[in-house]
Structure 1
Amino acid sequence: MATEVTDVPAAGETNGVAVEKTVTFTAVKPQLFVESPKVSDAVAFYKSAFGFEEVNRVTHPKRKADQELPLLLSAEIKLGSSSILVSDLSDDSTASGKPVGSGVIICLETEDIEAAINQAVKAGAVADGEISEGEGACCGRVGKVKDPYGVVWAICTPAKKCANVEA
């Protein structure tokens, strides 16, 4: 739900008691950093492998003379109601926080894991192990693929479906 902010200035007080302000977040947009200049290829891969739709692209207005392609600050790709930002990882990137290592697994839910893995592999991903029963709240059956940019994608059935099958 929402996060509480309790450090409210005096104007936010009622009868000398601090009024708690509620902060509501409207979306989560993970940001993937891909080695420059492969980010456009990564966006094309995510569209082909997982069916993402590109909804926005922001490029750096200036580029160095030796760069063939403009610096891609971010491409917003969407799957259902979820969005991910894909950005260039380069020395002159203006991104607010660059990761040291991936350390990320993104989970995609589907009813047909086998077909989803086959589609991703056909687009250039590498299957990572066998499909197995998931452990944890996020999924039922799960298979994994590693994309050409080092990101691991868990492809799983929704947890509630798994619970119905076991019952």
Structure 2
Amino acid sequence: MAEEIAAAAAAKSPAASFMAMKAQVVVPVQKAEEAVAFYKAAFGAEEVKRSIYPKRKADQEIPPVLCAELKVGGSCFLVCDQTDDLAVAVGLVFRLKTDDVEAAISTAVTAGAAITSEITENEDGCYGGVVGKVKDPFGVSWIVASDGEKRSVEPQAAA
């Protein structure tokens, strides 16, 4: 079955290459700060960078953490507060970096993944660039992102 899925994906979808993969730990809202402190104390994590949601009057006094990138040894992972924008449950999300989000999402869907949000362009610190989200057949959420702009599909001239 897996071989059939791989063959179908290779035949129908454009190739996408990936530069990196990061685990993204999603915690209940307002717990990311606590989680970051824990990972620092427990594993000697170093905070590389942090992005927070803009503070809004109607929202809580402390804005949620969009993402905090932590480094342990030679590896990095992200810690995020769960928000409506993230659209995933508390737990683990895998994040893939690619130059071609559209091709990567297409390949994943052909292989059996379900799209959980449209491909969008964002200017946020953690989700800057183009972002698409899928859930695999086993319930695991994947964020596919690039640093660039969304590609537009050019109509091909008739031969």
- Specify the TM-score bucket, using the shorter chain as the normaliser: 0.3 to 0.5
The answer to which structure has the higher strand fraction is 2
**TM-score after normalising by structure 2:** 0.45
> Which structure would you say has the larger Rg?
1
Higher relative contact order (CA 8 A, sep 6+): 2
